[in-house]
Structure 1
Amino acid sequence: MPEKQHESINYIELPAQDMAATEAFYQAVFGWRFEAYGPDYLAFFDKTMDGGFYRSDQCSSTDNGSALVVFYSDDLEATQSKVVYAGGIIVKPLFDFPGGRRFHFSDPNGNELAVWGTAVRT
């Protein structure tokens, strides 16, 4: 588990309809490890933050006002390819913003997340 920092974000939870698809997707794309706590909760373990998925028919997206979870990648194109290969859907293709580039995707549950990286130097 990552080191705990006083008053920092420590854990995140997201909704999921399909726990098996969720585990397969995040394991394939980000290499997360998982532990099920019954049929309705799936905890994940990452390098920088841990969290979990709780069973719900809802999903998290910026269109319905939810917070956006954003990953960092040293190679956006490679990460985007892994997302697509694992069954994710690109909902906002790569675009530039001040300080870098990013894309948004939805996971097998319809949750919207994003991945950013630094701008390509020419």
Structure 2
Amino acid sequence: MATPTDNRRIDYVEFNVNNIEASKAFYGKAFGWSFTDYGSEYCEFDDGRLKGGFTTLGTPRPGGALIILYADDLEAALSSVESAGGTIVKPITGFPGGRRFHFSDPDGYELAVWTKN
């Protein structure tokens, strides 16, 4: 049940994917996410703080809002993304307050990972 502190905050992120198992393999290997399957067309993911879903009910649409993950060790996260089969589309660069890189997942979604260091 939602609480007043949940108002106007990101609550869930959903990806339309071609292959749920491939998405689970990528995000599980790259970031250690856990998964709950709800049939053959939907899977919920949990990163330990935020939940979302993978579904095959729609068409993958790379682009849209940029989803940004946080990592204490940015270089280790980049290595993990590459090892899981992701493609680095913007290398680690600095910005006021931290550093980040962008990557695309197997379905072409572009995401970023940042750190304060």
Pairwise same-fold verdict (TM > 0.5): yes
Cα drift, residue 44 of structure 1: 0.6
Normalised TM-score (structure 1): 0.85
Kindly report structure 1 stretches of 4+ aligned residues shifted beyond 6 Å: none
Alpha-carbon distance between aligned partners in 2 of 1:112 and 1:59, rounded to the nearest angstrom: 10
Please tell me whether residue 11 in structure 1 is matched to residue 9 in structure 2.
Answer: no
What residue number does 1:60 align with? 62
Does the 8 A contact of 1:36 with 1:42 survive in 2? yes
Normalised TM-score (structure 2): 0.88
Alpha-carbon distance between aligned partners in 2 of 1:26 and 1:117, rounded to the nearest angstrom: 19
Within a 5 Å distance, the mapping from 1:3-42 to structure 2 comes to 5-7=5-7, 8-42=9-43
Q: How many residues align?
A: 113
SS of structure 2 residue aligned to 1:26: helix
Alpha-carbon distance between aligned partners in 1 of 2:60 and 2:46, rounded to the nearest angstrom: 23
SS of structure 2 residue aligned to 1:22: helix
Does the 8 A contact of 1:15 with 1:60 survive in 2? no
Within a 5 Å distance, the mapping from 1:1-122 to structure 2 comes to 5-7=5-7, 8-55=9-56, 56-61=58-63, 66-119=64-117
Identity of aligned residues (%): 48
Alpha-carbon distance between aligned partners in 1 of 2:116 and 2:51, rounded to the nearest angstrom: 24
Cα drift, residue 59 of structure 1: 2.7
CA RMSD in angstroms comes to 1.6
Query: Gaps spanning 5+ residues in structure 2: where?
Result: none
CA shift digits 1:30-78 (9 cap, x unpaired): 11111221221111112110010111332332xxxx1111011111100
